[in-house]
Amino acid sequence: MNNTFGILETKGTLTAVLAANEMMKAANITLMGKEYLGDGTVTVLVSGNAENINKAVKAGEEYLKNTGSEGTVTMITEPAGELRRVLFKHQ
């Protein structure tokens, strides 16, 4: 069951894509979408079970650390009702 979200937020599309790629290679997760913010910040949302999202979050953190990129990665277990709809209105 995909009841956990992983969220990656960083500066720049390339950094976000490469970090998300590492997250997806590390675990069986689903890419739910991305959002571009006006200041160059990109947010990527993934979903999966808690174990896989935890692996993915660690991979994303490791990528950011190893490349010296600024950003944050977190997970939300058992997200409240309509959180996906609110976060990604167009999906």
Across 4-33, average pLDDT: 95
Can you give the pLDDT at residue 49? Answer: 94
| Location of structure tokens 């997806």 | 24
Q: What percent of the chain has pLDDT over 70?
A: 90
Angle between helices 50-67 and 13-26 (to 10 degrees): 140
Instruction: Report d(CA 55, CA 83) in Å as an integer.
Output: 22
Q: Which range among 13-22, 40-49, 81-90 shows the weakest confidence by mean pLDDT?
A: 81-90
Considering the entire predicted model, what is its pTM? 0.86
Can you give the pLDDT at residue 20? Answer: 97
Beta strands in 1-91 (DSSP E): 4-11, 30-36, 41-48, 71-77
Instruction: Report d(CA 72, CA 69) in Å as an integer.
Output: 10
pLDDT at 82 over 90: no
